[in-house]
Amino acid sequence: MSTQNKWSIEYAASAAKEIFALDGSIKKIIKKAIEDKLVTNPLKFGLPLRRNLLGLFKLRVGNYRIIYQVKKSEIVVLIIAVGHRKQVYEDSNSTSF
């Protein structure tokens, strides 16, 4: 797949709530990372997760992480969770997707 193709971004309801609850400056940085990296090439910029989160990817944004799923056949990135690195993995473990 060419890196010129744009990926569509979808948000799980819980991820949208998490982004909305963030401080304004962090929210801008998170949105910029999504627009600059995940829309262009989510497989290049993210790292695959393991164990209970196998099949998902993470994107590091400072002390925050964006947890997402790549749907290659649909050219869609589904944002599962957004949060501080100390909490986001535990929260993602309990989220059904």
Under 8 Å between Cβ of 30 and 82: yes
Which one of 3.30.2310.20, 1.10.10.1100, 3.40.50.2300, 3.40.50.1820 gives the CATH number of domain 8-77?
3.30.2310.20
Could you tell me the residue ranges of all domains in the chain?
8-77
Length of the chain: 97
pLDDT tens-digit readout, 1-24: 444 679 999 999 999 999 999 999
Instruction: Tell me which DSSP letter residue 12 carries.
Output: -
Find, among 64, 6, 10, the residue nearest to 40 by Cα: 6
pLDDT tens-digit readout, 26-71: 999 999 999 999 999 999 999 999 998 999 999 999 999 999 999 9
